[in-house]
Structures are given as C-alpha cells and as structure tokens.
Structure 1
Amino acid sequence: MSVSWQDEIRWTDDGLVPVIAQQAETGKVLMFAWMNRESLDLTVSEGYAVYWSRSRGRLWRKGEESGNRQKILGIFLDCDEDVILLKIEQEGGIACHTGRESCFYRSLVNGQWQTVEPVLKDPEAIYRKS
C-alpha cells in the first residue's frame, strides 16, 4: 500500500493542520485557519477552500454565507510538513468576517493594537441572521 500525500503532513494530536490563505496575485496574507483530512480532501476536489471550524465543530466552506469564496490556485506544504499555505483568489475581495480584505488588520504601534485596514463592507450586510 502506498503512502497517501496526506500521510506526509504532520497533523496535530487532534487531527488538524494550520493553514495560511495568501492572495496569490499580491502575496498578502489574508487569514489563518485549520483543516482536517476531510476538509483538505474537499478543498482539493472542489477547488475552493474548506476549513475545519473549531468553534463550530464542523466543516466550513469559506464564503458559505458571505459568498466570498476562496478559489484555490496552489497548495503548498512547509519544510517541517506541519503548515499548509493556500495560494488563493479571494472572491469578493473580503476574507475577514469583519468586512475587511484581511483578518490581519491590526498592527502593533507604540505598544497598542491599531486598526490599519478599512472595513470594505458592513458585516451586517454580508451575513445572514441565524
């Protein structure tokens, strides 16, 4: 029996691997999330990012509510085999649930976190009410 490409990944004890989503065109890091084997398989087969939501305890197709899906252009494994980098095309230009391009919108300036990216769309207008 041959070794699966997924077996080369160093999964955490709870079966997850950290994932960084990077805008392929600009190189900008948009978000960090987690994947399990199933979400990684779905990402590969569907061509769009599917993550494992630890807070929801379920699979999470990025953009399932907002429509801001992440089209996969490349999947990379780091040298330690314990982090995945997704090179993506961010549909809608918004990766963050706060309505910003990137989840990394705060910068440490003089010992304080300061917002350095604008809200592009009000989250109330992006997400359905449960």
Structure 2
Amino acid sequence: MKPNNRKIYWILSLISLAGYAWIGFHILEHDHTEFSVCIFKNVTGWACPSCGITRSVLSLLHGRIGEALWINPLGILAALLLILVPVWLIRDVVLNQQTLLKVFRQAEDAIRTKKSIYIPLIMLVVINWGWNIMKDL
C-alpha cells in the first residue's frame, strides 16, 4: 500500500475510533448534562445539519428507530458508517487490498462531478438543516 493511501486508512481508523469514543462517553455519562460541542450552534444559537446525530445513534442503540429518525435521520447513516468502515478497513488490511479507498474515491468523484448526485445531496442536507431548526434541536 502506498504511503499516501496508508495515511487515508489511518485517518479513517482514527475517525472511527473517535466516533466510538464519543458514543461511549455519552453511554457512560451519568449526569446527562446537556452541552453542545457544535461551534455553529454555540455561536448562532441555531442547530446545524448534523446536530442531534449523537442522540440519534444512542436512540438506535436502545432500539428506538423512530426516535432516531425524528432526532436526526443522518444518525442512521452515521451508525451504518460506524459499523461498516471499521469492518471494511480490517478486511482491506488483512487481505492487503484497497477496496474501501477505491469506493471512497469513486464516490468522491461522482459527488464532485455529477449534478444528478450532488444537487440532491445538497438538497437533503438543507432539508435536514431546516428540520433541525424547526425542531429547535
């Protein structure tokens, strides 16, 4: 594996570990104090498109799928990525392949170059943002 590709795999590994650590911190947190690490929300007082993802993932872990979707539908995507990416990383390392990197680069290229993909994605993020603001997350 090329050094640059190895760097991407390390970054994805660290992001996955950080995601698990963040969820673990919230699972172990007993006083359930509400605080926001969202810079956008702390500055503007408005929710950002990703506000509520942690609570959504925690709801999924408790089997409350409807609640997870209500809080933030992107939590479902985050949970899937927290499961899929580490397994895929391990698979690629064990088999000495780069399938995750190949799919990542294809998706990145498609999102960047095809209006039929990036415009609907932007619209979904904007709709989710409006949803978060409307719910007053």
What is the TM-score when the length of structure 1 is the normalising length? Answer: 0.27
The structure having more radius of gyration, on CA atoms, is 2
What is the TM-score when the length of structure 2 is the normalising length? Answer: 0.26
- Structure with a larger share of its residues in helix: 2
**Higher-RCO chain (CA-CA 8 Å, sequence separation at least 6):** 2
